Amino acid sequence: MSRSPIRDLLVGVFVLSGLAALAYLSIQLGAATYSGPGGLTLYANFDEVGGLAKRSPVVIGGVRVGQVRSIGLAPDGSFRARVTMDVDKSLKLPDDTQAAILTQGVLGNQYVGLSPGGSDTLLKDGGEIAYTQSAVVIERLIGKVIQSLGGGSSGGDTAKPPAAGGKGS
């Protein structure tokens, strides 16, 4: 077959649009989900991380500022979970910042929410967040409710509403 300007143009358009689609899939969709600035490594120990995973978001007031880099057991032998986070290093976080593992919606993905405190000293790179709040595990919550309901009716303690009695604290 001979050279044909229109066909060559169409082949060129096909190849370029195919490559553009591949690039869209790879870069836009497949990129690491947080592409903002990082650089500040923070640690936090939790009793329970629930469904938190690598690359889960780290959020301050609903704004994404970093991501979870890894999750493991704390090296001090306390059997607590140690979460390593990569956070925007331009943030000046006070050292009494709190970290909580929260859920988007009722069944959504879990993320780490930071709430900065009021201290004058700042968290340094590699610093540890001391104040943490663990993930809520729905099975345990339901278990507690059932237990307290059962305890309330068998004990005959009618002064308190059932859900608040027993192991509620």
Partner 1 sequence: MLDFVRTVGWRSVDNVYGLGGIASFGSRLVFETLAPPYRLRRVIDEIYNTGVLSLAIVCASGTAVGLVLGLQGYNTLVRFGAERSMGAVVGLSLVRELGPVLTALLVTGRAGSAVAAEIGAMVATEQLDGLRMMAVDPIDFVTQPKAFALFASMPLLSALFIVSGLFGGYLVGVGLLGIDGGTYVSSLENNIDFRNDVLGSILKSAVFGALVGLIATWRGYTAAPNSAGVSRATTGAVVQASVATLMFDYAITALWGVGV
Chain positions contacting partner 1, by CB under 8 A? 1, 3, 7-8, 10-11, 13-15, 17-19, 21-22, 24-26, 28-33, 53, 105-109
Shortest reach from residue 22's CB to partner 1, in Å: 4
Which residue's CB is nearer to partner 1, number 32 or number 63? 32
Which residue's CB is nearer to partner 1, number 109 or number 158? 109
3-state SS track over 140-159: HHHHHHHHHHHHHHHHCCCC
Query: Can you tell me the distance from the alpha carbon of 64 to that of 52, in angstroms, rounded to the nearest whole number?
Result: 15
Nearest to 94, CA basis, from 130, 119, 60, 65? 119
Which residue's CB is nearer to partner 1, number 19 or number 130? 19
Nearest to 52, CA basis, from 16, 3, 104, 9? 104
End-to-end CA distance of the chain: 83
Which residue's CB is nearer to partner 1, number 30 or number 77? 30
Shortest reach from residue 108's CB to partner 1, in Å: 8
Shortest reach from residue 46's CB to partner 1, in Å: 20
